[in-house]
Amino acid sequence: MFPGFIFATGIENSIPTIQNGRVRMDEMEKCGHYAYWRKDFELVRELGVRALRYGAPLHRTWIGPAKYDWSFADEAFEELRRLNIVAIADLCHFGVPDWIGNFQNPDFPAQFAQYARAFAERYPWMQVYTPVNEMQICALFSALYGWWNEQMTTDRAFVTALKHIVKANILAMRAIVQVRPDALFVQSESSEYFHPENPAAISMAEHRNARRFLSLDLNYGRRVDSEMYEYLLDNGMTREEYHFFLNNNLKHHCIMGNDYYVTNEHHVSADGLAHASGEVFGYAVITHQYYNRYRLPVMHTETNSMQGPQGDEAVRWLRKEWANVLRVRNNGVPVVGFTWYSLIDQVDWDIDLRENRGTVNPLGLFDLERNIRPVGAAYRALIRDWAEVLPTQSICLRVPIVLPQETECADMYPLPRLPGEAGGAATAAPPNAE
């Protein structure tokens, strides 16, 4: 069984398209993961991390309806299993394969559920999933802000993308549970707040503060408020579609993952435009808002900060976020995990992947040369200091995660032997899910 509190990191696998689909922003490629994936997994172990947010590159793996190329995924997930690292499988991260098109495609939810089932059947030792990452942000950036994928800018396009994305997430969870009944789902979602700059902006801020909950309300089958109900119906959601969300949730299998960065809070002006406010309330206050709404276990699934000229900027942010996690937990919220995202530096996230500039963002625990950053050393020390304390204080908060090598299918899928071990290097091929 997983040893208590979940300290995690992640390998960024965003794949949105820009320039009307002509350019794919593949973060795994931009950050060198395809070349250095074995080294990256070794770095995870070096930190003392036992859980990794990680996904196969969807556009390279899901090559057509019920057609898959598992070549990279087979090697990568088998290595994670050998290392006994729990992978939180990140199946869809901001983009879809070219043959799907974009999130306006009504066929996406059912097709994606088929992919999720095939994935679960191929890797039966996998238990923890994030089927669709940051559903709200994906819909906003793709269909309301016009930055990614369909690059549309209307409320109707946003509602269309959102209902397809959340339905895909729900159908994928249901498909995975059919294969792995003890599956757990971590909804990594951005936790936001909008502050009015003046009285004339109050109504606009209130609208955005209601809209920020839509993806999780639909995913968890919670009735939206009256303004949001009218907003959804006015922009193309039918009553039947709305009732699908009310009646098909798997909330009892879920952990509410919430992401918080210094950019997650916003000021709203009288003209309805929003701009970054910096940290005003902070993670603790906003997490209480989300927990009070959904009453689910919480995992802090993403945070980071750039290493600046002093060298300790990211370290200070790590310490601040960890203090917020402890504050929330001590106040009675069942916080079960924390994540610095990501393992290695990212590329072009300073402009939200809107342009292909190749700018390296020093956000990782390691740089792109795979050298540890000060925040990486600080996170390693934090894990070492706190890993034994938190489970002792709160054994009832342990998440029932089975380590990959302890799963019931371990005898059916024996691990490849390490070089030099007796008996050679025999391997067992996983079943073909096609």
List, for residues 141-185, the tens digit of each pLDDT value.
999 999 999 999 999 999 999 999 999 999 999 999 999 999 999
Per-residue pLDDT at 256 exceeds 50: yes
Per-residue pLDDT at 419 exceeds 50: no
Other beta carbons less than 10 A from residue 71's beta carbon: 10
Per-residue pLDDT at 330 exceeds 80: yes
Of 94-103, 387-396, 398-407, 414-423, the range with the lowest mean pLDDT is: 414-423
Q: How far apart are the first and last CA of the chain?
A: 31
What would the mean pLDDT of 73-97 be, rounded to a whole number? 98
Please provide the average confidence, as pLDDT, over all residues in the chain: 93
**Alpha carbons 93 and 261: distance in angstroms, whole number:** 18
**Alpha carbons 11 and 37: distance in angstroms, whole number:** 10
pLDDT tier at 2, thresholds 50, 70, 90: confident
Per-residue pLDDT at 413 exceeds 60: no
- pLDDT given at position 428: 32
| 422 or 238, greater pLDDT | 238
Other beta carbons less than 10 A from residue 340's beta carbon: 30
- pLDDT given at position 255: 97
pLDDT tier at 425, thresholds 50, 70, 90: very low
pLDDT tier at 409, thresholds 50, 70, 90: low
List, for residues 308-323, the tens digit of each pLDDT value.
999 999 999 999 999 9
Token code pair at residue 12: 């960024």
Domain locations along the chain: 6-406
Per-residue pLDDT at 423 exceeds 50: no
List, for residues 198-244, the tens digit of each pLDDT value.
999 999 999 999 999 999 999 999 999 999 999 999 999 999 999 99
Token code pair at residue 79: 């290595």
Of 169-178, 187-196, 383-392, the range with the lowest mean pLDDT is: 383-392
- Residue 301, Cα to own-chain centre: how many angstroms? 7
CATH fold of 6-406 reads: TIM Barrel (3.20.20)
